[in-house]
Amino acid sequence: MDTTIKNSNLKSEEYFINMGPQHPATHGVLRLLLTIDGEIIKKVEPDLGYIHRSIEKMCERDSYQQIVHLTDRMDYLSSHINNEAVCLTVEKALELEVPERVKVIRTIIGELTRIASHTLWWGVMGMDVGALTTYFYGFRDRELINDIFEETCGARLTMNYNIPGGLMFDIHPNFVKRTKDFIAHFKTKLPEYDTLLTGNVIFQKRMKGVGMLTKEDAISFGASGPVGRGSGYSCDVRKHHSYSAYDKVNFNEILKTEGDSFARYQVRIEEMWESMSIIEQLIDNIPEGDVQVATNAVIKLPKGEFYQKVETARGELGVYINSTGTKNPYRLKFRSPGFSNLSLLNHIAVGGKIGDLVASMATLDLVIPDIDR
């Protein structure tokens, strides 16, 4: 009754609540310590390390060929691009020029990886805000890409297709046809994503004006990938520090200036169209030639420091190798996109509700092994 509430001594106070480490919306073992007042978030403090495998320390023990395989296990949804990052760094250090055929195939598979990652993100993102159907739509299309990978690389997720100096083996004879079939199929399916979710009024109300991030903050927090581009920050590594065959194709860097969750959502949806366009430009023009250049069985990098950045589905992955001229790196650092993107979660969530935190976090597209390494 009215009077009871008015006259009561009930008052709100701040308290802690654990979100995770086993929480469906964190998509992995991420624990968030929330300080809340009622349902208003006062502070979000991530607690990391539940699946830290000290990959950087293991790299100091391993040969360069072995390191490539560890990188699959970081951002497992961009495994091909992670592999490529290490290979490119080693090739840069050895001043090794890989054949054009390798560059084109790497680019095609990289873009297929991006579509696969974005479809999975779209599925689980819809699920996070209560739209369960998206999950099945997203996985339906992603399976087709995984089938292509399985045929060519032998694996569906951790592909291990790159080696320093090229590719492990040539593409499967069916690769070109299946990729084209997939593009034709996905062109009819991607508009369904918009019909089902993008235009939904409830969904838009959950997304628009929520999780605001300005361009200045995006740069300061080291945001990259769709998170940065949703705030109007031009950060596409494929454009600014082109690698593999990206300098040979025309594509647009998708930029949105709103800086809210909906902008980040739109960037990823439109990026899938761009990825399809990149694949279409390359798939009929894969140059003939070898798929690897010979390297020594034991790769020794020259003394020095080498840095290479690539654009994974989540943003900028950097590989820093400090070599003393031996067969192992003296120090190897992975600058992972998820780690920097996670650091801005507190900034965009404070002042909002717990439900909005889940929605904002979904648009950051975090992969926890990428953060924990």
Partner 1 sequence: MDLTKDFKTEFMTNEALQNLISSWISELEFTEESSEFLNITVKAEQLHQLMSQLKSNTETNFDYLFCLTGIDWGKELGVIYHLESTTHRHIIVVKVQTEDRENPTFDSVCDIWKTADFHEREVFDFFGIKFNNHPNLKRLFLTDEWEGFPLRKDYVDEINMVIK
**Which CB atom, from 172 or from 215, has the smaller least distance to partner 1?**
215
270 binds partner 1 (CB under 8 A): no
**Which CB atom, from 30 or from 115, has the smaller least distance to partner 1?**
30
170 binds partner 1 (CB under 8 A): no
**Which CB atom, from 253 or from 280, has the smaller least distance to partner 1?**
253
Contact in structure between 169 and 175 (CB atoms under 8 Å): no
The residue range among 28-36, 136-144, 182-190, 315-323 that interacts with partner 1, by the rule CB under 8 A, is 315-323
* Of 295, 325, 353, the residue nearest 168 (C-alpha): 295
Q: Which residue has the tokens 């995984």?
A: 146
Contact in structure between 350 and 34 (CB atoms under 8 Å): no
In sequence order, what are the residues at sequence separation of 6 or more whose Cβ sits closer than 8 angstroms to the Cβ of residue 7? Answer: none
Give me 104's structure tokens. 């084109």
Q: Binding partner 1 by CB under 8 A: which of 66, 234, 285, 296?
A: 234
> For the window 42-61, what string marks contact with partner 1 as x by the rule CB under 8 A?
------xx--x-x-xxx--x
Q: Binding partner 1 by CB under 8 A: which of 339, 350, 353, 355?
A: 339
**Which CB atom, from 116 or from 364, has the smaller least distance to partner 1?**
364
Q: Report the alpha-carbon distance of residue 233 to residue 229 in Å, rounded.
A: 5
> For the window 73-112, what string marks contact with partner 1 as x by the rule CB under 8 A?
----------------------------------------
Give me 169's structure tokens. 């083996």
34 binds partner 1 (CB under 8 A): no
Contact in structure between 47 and 31 (CB atoms under 8 Å): yes
Q: Binding partner 1 by CB under 8 A: which of 180, 300, 347, 353?
A: 347
Give me 261's structure tokens. 């969750």
Alpha helices in 208-289 (DSSP H): 215-220, 226-229, 237-240, 261-283
Q: Residue 331 carries which side chain, given as an amino acid letter?
A: R
Q: Binding partner 1 by CB under 8 A: which of 122, 193, 203, 221?
A: 221
* Long-range contacts of 277-280, Cβ-Cβ distance < 8 Å, separation of 24 or more: 277/249, 277/250, 277/251, 278/107, 278/108, 278/111, 278/246, 278/249, 278/251, 279/108, 279/111, 279/112, 279/179, 279/183, 280/183
The residue range among 81-89, 95-103, 179-187, 229-237 that interacts with partner 1, by the rule CB under 8 A, is 229-237
CB of 226 to partner 1, least distance (A): 15
CB of 255 to partner 1, least distance (A): 5
> For the window 273-302, what string marks contact with partner 1 as x by the rule CB under 8 A?
-----------------------------x
239 binds partner 1 (CB under 8 A): yes
> Residue 218: is it exposed, middle or buried by C-beta count within 10 angstroms (0-12/13-18/19+)?
buried
The residue range among 137-145, 199-207, 249-257, 278-286 that interacts with partner 1, by the rule CB under 8 A, is 249-257
**Which CB atom, from 133 or from 234, has the smaller least distance to partner 1?**
234
258 binds partner 1 (CB under 8 A): no
The CA distances from residue 65 to 149, 158, 192, 244, 253, in Å, are: 21, 15, 42, 19, 33
Q: Which residues bind partner 1 (CB under 8 A)?
A: 48-49, 52, 54, 56-58, 61, 217, 219-222, 224, 232-235, 239-240, 253, 255, 257, 302-307, 309, 316, 318, 320, 322, 331, 333, 335, 339-340, 342-344, 347, 372
